[in-house]
Amino acid sequence: MLFIAKDTVLVRRPEYVNGLSLMWAGPFGGVLSPPPTTLFPKKLFLPCDACGISLEDCMDHVYACHPCNYMVHETCIYIPRIIRITRHPHRLSFTSSLSPGDFSCGVCRKTVDINYGQYSCTKGCHYAIHSKCATREDVWDSIDLEGVPEEPIEDEDIEPFVKIDENTIRHFSHDHHMKLHNNGTNGDHESMFCDACIFPIVPLDCFFSCMQCEFVLHEARACLPRKKYHPLHKHPLVLLPSPSEFYVFPPDFCVEGMFKCKECDQLGCGFVYECTDEDCVFELDVRCASINDPLVHECHRRDHPLFINMTKGECMRCKSIYNSSFFLECVKCNTFLCLTCTNVPCVTHYKHDSHPLTLCFGEEDARNLEYWCEICESKVDPKMWFYTCESCMITLHVTFLLGETMYLKSLHTVENYNDVEEEIVISRNCGSSRPDCNHCARRCVDALVFKCSGRYFCTLSCMNATRTGKAED
């Protein structure tokens, strides 16, 4: 009878569950028998045949079919047969056993025991997920696709641009034609920032620039798909040139064209992936959307890829668990890197240096090393991340070079749509004399400066504090 148990699938018959009698069906859909089923009031030290988790671990009731030697949690009776999750391009089906092989769960990365129920790819990929991991509330959209025909266009992307000729495109986000530059910029790269990711265009970057205005896009960002499935969100996402909603600073300050990424928690402008589900508010910046899973990050060993997991822990760079909502995890050493730190650009530029600056992830041997930050003139800890120019031998703190609000656009104008319409101008803080902040009275040292009703502010929080008459915290 054990043989039958492994080849059978559970038929969802809730009416029988209450009567303590489950129905079994063979792989070809025929009902084999309605065997007697018993509800166990006691906890058992055995794994659930549907999810592999111990039957004593859950608060669930346990159902057993004695002739089939099959025991499951009550919640596992209702496990869906066919699902689709954003972590895999194909549909997944529930199977009670897999053909032999090593599988690590696509969600928690732990080993999947092929003898218990799990989800595997319907198209035959070497891919498996624990049934409990696949049906997590934040992983699965709660839609059982059994009997739902697969849409043929499901995986097709709408092209992000039309090719005009070899080097010219018309991007969906912009009205003018754009030209490809293959070998980065020559000289005047300081003022160029990609309008999708707000990262600077640095030498050797390939990018498209508008033939009529200042609009620029990294080549890779211009190719971003207009529809995307992202592992950290359970619904499909669409790419928009700017967010469809206002960003609201408490209590009532609405700004256009700005949003907070739900994964790294950073405020930014530029392209945004928004959720297509009408009951769901989810905005994702293109920097987070472009992180590979797994990712080999230069700050960590090459043979230790970092995974986009649903786990959290102290970030190896910023030592905090609050800088981002999500983290990458090295499952080999159980260390974490928050998404904010993951996105710190490896190459950037500094207005007083003609060479690009590279990110250094801390010196191995920091003895006898003394580094000083060019901007704030205080010490740089050589064991931490910092920017350096090899040619000029200078070092800079990452936060001082990039600024607190590094993903806001310079010269970007946002308007307040409340009772009074106000204009805010965000500009690069690069004039010869730096203004004093109208709120905290300190000199504005960040990369950006905010101007509102003729007054200057060093940060958005200072500006907002003045507007709301609140003391700075």
Q: List residues binding Zn ion (CB under 5 A).
A: 48, 50-51, 73, 76, 90, 105, 107-108, 121, 123, 125, 130, 133, 176, 210, 212-213, 215, 235, 261, 263-264, 275, 277, 280, 282, 285, 288, 304, 315, 317-318, 323, 330, 332-333, 338, 341
- For the CB of residue 420, give the shortest distance to Zn ion in the complex, in Å: 31
- For the CB of residue 33, give the shortest distance to Zn ion in the complex, in Å: 22
Which C-beta is closer to Zn ion: that of 130 or that of 397? 130
- For the CB of residue 83, give the shortest distance to Zn ion in the complex, in Å: 13
In 3D space, the residue among 230, 238, 235, 229 whose CA is nearest the CA of residue 310 turns out to be 230
Which C-beta is closer to Zn ion: that of 85 or that of 394? 85
Helices (H), 275-387: 286-289, 339-342
- For the CB of residue 441, give the shortest distance to Zn ion in the complex, in Å: 30
Which residues lie below 8 Å from residue 121, measured CB to CB, with a gap of 6+?
Answer: 88, 90, 91, 92, 127
Instruction: For Cα atoms 27, 77, 51, give the angle at the middle one, nearest 5 degrees.
Output: 85
- For the CB of residue 308, give the shortest distance to Zn ion in the complex, in Å: 12
* Ramachandran class of 265: left when φ > 0, alpha when ψ lies in -120 to 50, beta otherwise: left
* Ramachandran class of 227: left when φ > 0, alpha when ψ lies in -120 to 50, beta otherwise: beta
Which C-beta is closer to Zn ion: that of 332 or that of 352? 332
- For the CB of residue 296, give the shortest distance to Zn ion in the complex, in Å: 11
Which C-beta is closer to Zn ion: that of 306 or that of 357? 306
Long-range contacts of 458-462 (CB under 8 A, 24+ apart): 459/404, 459/405, 460/249, 460/267, 460/405, 462/437, 462/438
Which C-beta is closer to Zn ion: that of 106 or that of 356? 106
- For the CB of residue 438, give the shortest distance to Zn ion in the complex, in Å: 30
Specify the pairing of strand 327-330 against strand 307-308.
antiparallel
DSSP state of 10: E
- For the CB of residue 333, give the shortest distance to Zn ion in the complex, in Å: 4
Which C-beta is closer to Zn ion: that of 204 or that of 213? 213
Which C-beta is closer to Zn ion: that of 261 or that of 402? 261
- For the CB of residue 456, give the shortest distance to Zn ion in the complex, in Å: 28
Rounded Cα–Cα distance for residues 318 and 18 (Å)? 52
Return the number of other C-beta atoms located less than 10 Å from residue 413's C-beta: 13
Pair 299, 385: CB distance under 8 Å: yes
Return the number of other C-beta atoms located less than 10 Å from residue 107's C-beta: 24
Which C-beta is closer to Zn ion: that of 174 or that of 467? 174
Buried b (16+ CB within 10 A) or exposed e, 112-141: bebebbbbbbbeeeebbbbbbbbbeeebbb
Which C-beta is closer to Zn ion: that of 261 or that of 401? 261
